[in-house]
Amino acid sequence: MSDIRNLEPKQLWNYFHDITQIPHPSKNEKKIVEYVVAFGKKHNLETIVDKVGNVIIRKPATKGMENRKGVIFQTHLDMVPQKNSDKKHDFEKDPIETWIDGEWVKAKGTTLGSDNGIGVAATMTVLASKEIPHGPIEALFTIDEETGMTGVFGLEPGLLKGDILMNLDSEDEGELYVGCAGGIDVSAVKTYAEESSPKGMAAYKVMAKGLKGGHSGVDIALGRANSNKLMFRFLMQAEADFGVRLAEASGGDLRNAIPRESYSMVLVPEIKAAEFEAFIKGYDKIYKAEFSDTEPDLKFMSEKTSVPAKVMNQGDQYRIIRAVFVCPNGVVRMSQAMKGLVETSNNLAIVRIKDGKFETYNLCRSSVDSAKEATAWKIAAVFHLINADVKLEGGYPGWKPNIHSPILKTMSKVYNDMYGKIPEIKAIHAGLECGILGGVYPNLDMISFGPTIRYPHSPDEKVHIASVVKFFDFLCGTLKQVPVK
Ligand SMILES: [Zn+2]
């Protein structure tokens, strides 16, 4: 059996098969939007396409369920287009080739789109069904979740009528998600005067490398090193002890990745060169010892280089080094509501110093919006002190975990009744559409769940077949138990 259309629940897998046949990478959702709209119309359901291209389909309650709270199923229509380098595939034209590998459904050499195609197919199955009992339902299919969330950002208030939002975009069957982090970008830019390099100096390129990096939210509490932090701590002491002059520096390249590599170009009085080399080796030892558990491949090293023509003026150098050194980074606060969850963090992601311009870019996250703002302002304050031009941009709200959420209670009980175990309750220190939706619709009781998906966003993406059955049965079981309005 190689055709996924024969898997159970059959209707769900048939819709998923349809979805795999329609190219739908992020920002190219036109065809899949048409498909979902045609589906809504075919089933005589109220179908709306909003201003930005999200689709909303409404289905009235089944008989005897009219008094229940309204449920919104939320999924995203786009998928991440990733393929193996040897695979010939055009994501704007070619269908995804699916195959069954034991307990899993996979794609041949590309992402599968089970993130979030299974959620979309599950929603369609409920919308098309004549047998599943449920209260009033709205299905919200958003666009562009994977590359900027412009769909959910563009969603207008007042459009959705439901009381409970079920996001079907989680990736571990048996887990219920009840929170996520919001984020805000904090940048600081400052120009500085350069001056001619002093005479009698030796030049070194100092490097921090071999770090693991990782996702700036999900991996922020793993105790990994931030290469920018290593570099500027070193620079602070190097300036004090050796009178180094800074010519340039750079570290990190993505706001949402923990920086793995940084370098600086520094000048040291020639007579102190040997001592300086030993000093760098000392820092290598210190850092290796401090991060022995988390960064086994860390290297802090230098190589001699030709003396650059210009360096930063001493006053700005003093201030900039100290500002980067004290800038908050890493976990700022752990959640008090959920054990082990990071509430607030900052990633000192990017630092660049070159040709008279200093820049730094930070991504600050929190599930508590006021804490996110306070941390962003703390970072801003540090760079205000050195007269940098500071900007707070691209802010989006978090979803503060509510462990007393009524739908969480209902679903925990339903799951326990069905499968004899309480589901795990979780939150994620990263952005989800729920955070933004909750910002627009603050009264929604929200929850997120889904089937088991592994390696999403990569050509190894796969969805666990048995978990789809459990996920869908759980969804239908929950619908029966949705409380009266
Ligand atoms: Zn997704």
Put simply, whether the predicted model's pTM sits higher than 0.75 gets the answer: yes
Separation of alpha carbons 358 and 156, rounded Å = 39
How many A from CA of 146 to the centre of ligand 1? 7
How many A from CA of 167 to the centre of ligand 1? 10
pLDDT value for 154: 96
Which residues, in sequence order, are CB contacts of 451 under 8 Å at separation 6+? 114, 118, 171, 173, 463, 464, 467, 468, 470, 471
Neighbours of ion ligand 1 (CB under 5 A): 115-116, 169
Q: Dump pLDDT digits (tens) for 318-359.
A: 999 999 999 999 999 999 888 899 999 999 999 999 999 999
| Among 303, 292, 232, 230, residue whose Cα is nearest residue 260 | 230
The DSSP output letter for 409 is H
In which element (H, E) is residue 151 found? helix 150-153
Q: What are the E-state strand segments in 1-136?
A: 46-49, 55-59, 71-76, 98-101, 104-107
Q: Do residues 324 and 360 touch, judged by C-beta distance below 8 A?
A: yes
Q: Dump pLDDT digits (tens) for 168-194.
A: 999 999 999 999 999 999 999 999 999
pLDDT value for 254: 85
Rounded alpha-carbon distances, angstroms, from residue 461 to 7, 82, 107, 111, 171:
18, 10, 7, 6, 11
How many A from CA of 109 to the centre of ligand 1? 19
Separation of alpha carbons 346 and 267, rounded Å = 31
Length of the chain: 485
Separation of alpha carbons 346 and 331, rounded Å = 7
pLDDT value for 1: 47
How many A from CA of 224 to the centre of ligand 1? 26
pLDDT value for 192: 98
How many A from CA of 246 to the centre of ligand 1? 44
Which residues, in sequence order, are CB contacts of 242 under 8 Å at separation 6+? 268, 269, 272, 275, 276, 279
Given a cut of 70, whether residue 153 has pLDDT beyond it is yes
Given a cut of 80, whether residue 94 has pLDDT beyond it is yes
Beta-strand relationship, 445-448 and 424-428:
unpaired
Mean pLDDT of the chain: 96
pLDDT value for 2: 66
Q: Which two tokens stand for residue 93?
A: 């034209």
In degrees, to the nearest 5, what angle opens at C-alpha 218 toward C-alphas 186 and 372? Answer: 35
How many A from CA of 176 to the centre of ligand 1? 15
Separation of alpha carbons 86 and 456, rounded Å = 19
The DSSP output letter for 280 is H
How many A from CA of 80 to the centre of ligand 1? 9
Which residues form the catalytic set? Answer: 78, 145
pLDDT value for 416: 98
Separation of alpha carbons 105 and 89, rounded Å = 19
**Per-position b or e across 249-263, b if 16+ CB within 10 A of its CB:** bbbbeebbbbbbbbb
How many A from CA of 339 to the centre of ligand 1? 25
Beta-strand relationship, 389-396 and 424-428:
unpaired
How many A from CA of 231 to the centre of ligand 1? 36
pLDDT value for 85: 84
Residue by residue, DSSP assigns 334-356 as E-SSSTT-EEEEEEEEEEEEETT
How many A from CA of 4 to the centre of ligand 1? 21
Single-letter amino acid code for the residue at 298: L
pLDDT value for 431: 87
Separation of alpha carbons 397 and 433, rounded Å = 10
Alpha carbon 59 to its chain centroid, in Å, reads 32
**Number of Cβ within a 10 Å radius of residue 17:** 19
Q: Dump pLDDT digits (tens) for 394-449.
A: 899 999 899 899 999 999 999 999 999 999 999 999 888 999 999 999 999 999 99
Which residues, in sequence order, are CB contacts of 51 under 8 Å at separation 6+? 154, 156
How many A from CA of 117 to the centre of ligand 1? 9
